[in-house]
Structure 1
Amino acid sequence: MRQDQQPIVCDDGPVKRLVFLDLDGTLLNHDQQLPRSTRNALEQAIAVGHRLVMCTGRSKLEIYPFLWELGFAGLVGSNGAYGQAGDVTLFDERMPQEDVSEISSWLESVGAESLWQTAEALYPTQGFLSRFQSDDAGDRTAAGDWGAYLEQVGPHLREGLPKTAAKVTMFLPFSSGASLLDAHEQFGERFAIIDGSVPHPLGEMGELTARGMNKSVGLARFAARLGVPISETIAIGDSANDIEMLRAAGIGVAMGNGTPEAKAAADWTTTSIDDDGVTAAFEKLGLVGAPV
């Protein structure tokens, strides 16, 4: 076993339960807020020794500091391509430069906008971030208040294209005439393409990663580094990029506000994010309160 593959030994004892949690729609609501009940449940679970891991389509640069301050053990980001435990990078899988160039050229040719993710910087096309900004008519923005997100990513934005990238988020305006179906036809045999986790009234959002890359891959790699069998993991999520994770985990829990596909992939469904869904799940799982 190589040194970089050695299991991580946690300073404060063995892992009790290893829980992978989606962010948007699971921990964070449409206004990028963490419900008070969810915060309390997270803090209680961490206090009794459970390890909580953010498992998200976001890159590490899109994670709010207050989430780390809660005591999360790590991050699986970019739909499984990036893994971090504490300050240690566990894995960082990227698409090569030729793929980035080819995909970017096609997106530009069909009038799409995009955001490329790396662990060092974010590369948006002109107009992409405006899709998360309210105008006077209120009709350009994704649902909710994204002010905190725009403030978070601001210092990490760069122009042009990265040499390599973990993931690209794409926005295909209805006015462009192109769709996610077109993206699937163009790239579906070579890359993983799924619906975006944030809906938009003026177009389709999608996420593209290397073929075979998804959150379950990151979950398995992270769990292996901590020496935890996948059968002992828990995953909670709500959308398309959570499906493989919900299927792979020892216990998969879908949010009540989740998509039908996410609910079908899970072992059971909790209540919605606005109805204390994470707290209800933690209580049923015995992570907080008296074990069931």
Structure 2
Amino acid sequence: MKDKKIRMVALDLDGTTLNNQKEISARTMTAFRKAMESGVHIVVSTGRTFQSLPKQLFSIEGLEYIVTSNGAHVTELATMKTIYENYLTSHAVEEVVRVLRGTGFSIETFVGGKAFIDKAEYEDVVANGSTYRDAEYIKSTRNPIPHICDYMIENKHQIENISINFEHIEEKEKWQRILEQIEGITLTSSFQHNFEIGGANTSKAEALRFLMRRLGVSSDELMACGDSPNDMEMIKLAEIGVVVGNASEEMKSLADYITDTNDNDGVAKAIEHFVL
């Protein structure tokens, strides 16, 4: 089945477009090229910061926009300019820091397109690895700074996202109830062990709505593909919400279409099926 109405394809990266080697496959790159040649806008929509994006993305000719930090930031690649921002308020940052300070949790924050982590935690990961996170990813994408909570207060007017990582899953449910009491934030997740905190209406879907207005694209001309809770809103927004086969059953229940896994060209197959 081909749906020629689709004019924009929004794609999550980790666990979706990227395979398990953190690469975009040749088949997916070909699908991108063919879709863009036919006038379809391919929009990367990720929880990563701009600095953490895989270099391979910047080799894709015709890629126009990248949504980063779960919708807090949109970059126009032709000019490398920020064209959209949706950050936490300074008051929300203060409240989050008040609740988290002294808990001992792994806390990260995104500022200026970069991801920051407490220096002590970073050095521990370098020395000892991690039992529940990708240590190599941390070492290659995180910037260590002393006193992460103090840093967030010092930069409270420009916080894109705050991430809390739980070594023990059972702590997550308890802290969800606590964090949900904070006004002016959104709470989502990109993998089993974390929560990601954004502004009051920050989401990939809101950033895509901005781009859709800019490009004259309606929601019935949108296909979105993802695998995790931080993809839920854009999957609901899209006329065709696609979930990869490696996603949870909860995510699959939201899908209009379930494609193959991220490691078996699921995104390419969805583009071929609905767009090409």
Q: Which of the five TM-score ranges fits, normalised by the shorter chain?
A: 0.7 to 0.9
TM-score after normalising by structure 2: 0.83
Q: Are 1:107 and 2:97 an aligned pair?
A: no
Q: Kindly report which structure 2 residues correspond to 1:126-205, keeping only aligned pairs within 5 A, or say none.
A: 126-129=119-122, 135=128, 140=131, 142-143=133-134, 146-147=136-137, 150-154=139-143, 158-159=145-146, 160-161=151-152, 162-164=155-157, 165-174=159-168, 178-188=171-181, 190=183, 191-195=185-189, 197-199=190-192, 204-205=193-194
Question: Which one has more relative contact order, counting CA pairs under 8 Å at least 6 apart?
Answer: 2
**What does residue 71 of structure 2 align with?**
80
Q: Are 1:220 and 2:209 an aligned pair?
A: yes
**What does residue 9 of structure 1 align with?**
none
User: Measured at CA, do residues 107 and 130 of structure 1 come closer, stay the same or move farther in structure 2, by a change above 3 Å?
Assistant: farther
**What does residue 196 of structure 2 align with?**
207
Q: Are 1:125 and 2:124 an aligned pair?
A: no
> In the TM superposition, what is the alpha-carbon distance from 1:129 to its structure 2 partner?
4.5
SS for the counterpart of 1:173 is coil
**What does residue 32 of structure 1 align with?**
22
Contact kept in structure 2, 1:53 and 1:73, CA below 8 Å:
yes
**What does residue 278 of structure 1 align with?**
267
Question: 1:242-266 deviations in whole A, cap 9, x for unaligned?
Answer: 1111010121111111122222222
Instruction: Show structure 1 runs of 5+ residues with no match.
Output: 1-14, 288-292
> In the TM superposition, what is the alpha-carbon distance from 1:100 to its structure 2 partner?
1.9
Q: Are 1:48 and 2:38 an aligned pair?
A: yes
SS for the counterpart of 2:14 is coil
Instruction: Show structure 2 runs of 5+ residues with no match.
Output: none
Once residues 69 and 133 of structure 1 are traced to their aligned partners in structure 2, the CA distance between those partners, rounded to angstroms, is 30
Identity of aligned residues (%): 25
Question: 1:133-174 deviations in whole A, cap 9, x for unaligned?
Answer: 684xx653525x735x633555xx555222331211111232
Structure with greater helix percent: 2
Once residues 130 and 40 of structure 1 are traced to their aligned partners in structure 2, the CA distance between those partners, rounded to angstroms, is 40
Contact kept in structure 2, 1:131 and 1:141, CA below 8 Å:
no
Contact kept in structure 1, 2:44 and 2:67, CA below 8 Å:
yes
Query: What one-letter code is carried by the residue in structure 2 that aligns with 1:215?
Result: K
**What does residue 57 of structure 1 align with?**
47
* CA RMSD across the alignment: 2.7
Q: Kindly report which structure 2 residues correspond to 1:11-30, keeping only aligned pairs within 5 A, or say none.
A: 17-30=7-20
> In the TM superposition, what is the alpha-carbon distance from 1:214 to its structure 2 partner?
1.6
User: Measured at CA, do residues 80 and 153 of structure 1 come closer, stay the same or move farther in structure 2, by a change above 3 Å?
Assistant: same
> In the TM superposition, what is the alpha-carbon distance from 1:107 to its structure 2 partner?
2.0
Query: What one-letter code is carried by the residue in structure 1 that aligns with 2:210?
Result: R
